[in-house]
Chains A and B, each alone.
Chain A
Amino acid sequence: MGPRGFEPRTTRSSAARSPRLSYGPRLLFRINTLNILPNSDAMAVRVDRYKCGYCGACVTVCPADAIELVGVCIEIRENCNECGVCVNICPVGALELENKG
Chain B
Amino acid sequence: MRKMREERYDVVVVGAGPGGSTAAKVAAEHGLDVLLIEKNQEIGVPVRCAEGVSKRVENFVSLPKECIATEAAGARIFSPDGTCVELSEKTARGKLAEVGYVLERKLFDKYLARLAADSGVEVRVKTQAISILKDGSSVKGIVVRDVSDDAKIFADVVIAADGVESKIGRMAGLETRIKPADLEVCAQFYMTGIDVEEDFSEFYLGNKIAPGGYAWVFPKGERSANVGVGIEASRSRDGARALDYLKAFVHRKFPEGRVLGQVYGAVPVSGPIKSVADGIILVGDAARQTDPLTGGGILNAMEAGKIAGEVVAEAFERKDFSESSLREYEERCKELNEKLTRMYRARLLVSKFSDKELNRLARSLEGVRFEELNARELLRELIKRNPRLLMSLAKLFP
Contacts and interface: CB of A to CB of B under 8 A. Distances in A.
B264 A91 contact: yes
B178 A53 contact: no
B177 A63 contact: yes
Nearest to B233: A89
Interface centre among A4, A54, A88 (most CB of B within 10 A): A88
Contact of A3 (B186, B236, B248): B248
A2 B264 CA distance: 21
B342 interface: no
B239 A5 contact: yes
Interface string B160-191: 00011111001000001111100101110000
A53 B248 contact: no
The B contact surface, by secondary structure, is: mixed
B265 interface: yes
Interface stretch (B38-46, B151-159, B216-224): B38-46
Interface in A11-32: 13-14
Contacts, number: 118
A69 B164 CA distance: 11
A57 B266 contact: yes
A91 B185 CA distance: 6
A68 B237 contact: no
Interface centre among B163, B185, B265 (most CB of A within 10 A): B185
Interface of A: 1-6, 9, 13-14, 53-57, 59-63, 65, 68-72, 85, 88-93
Interface of B: 39-41, 46, 48, 126, 128, 163-167, 170, 176-180, 183, 185-187, 208-209, 233-234, 236-245, 247-249, 251-252, 262-266, 268
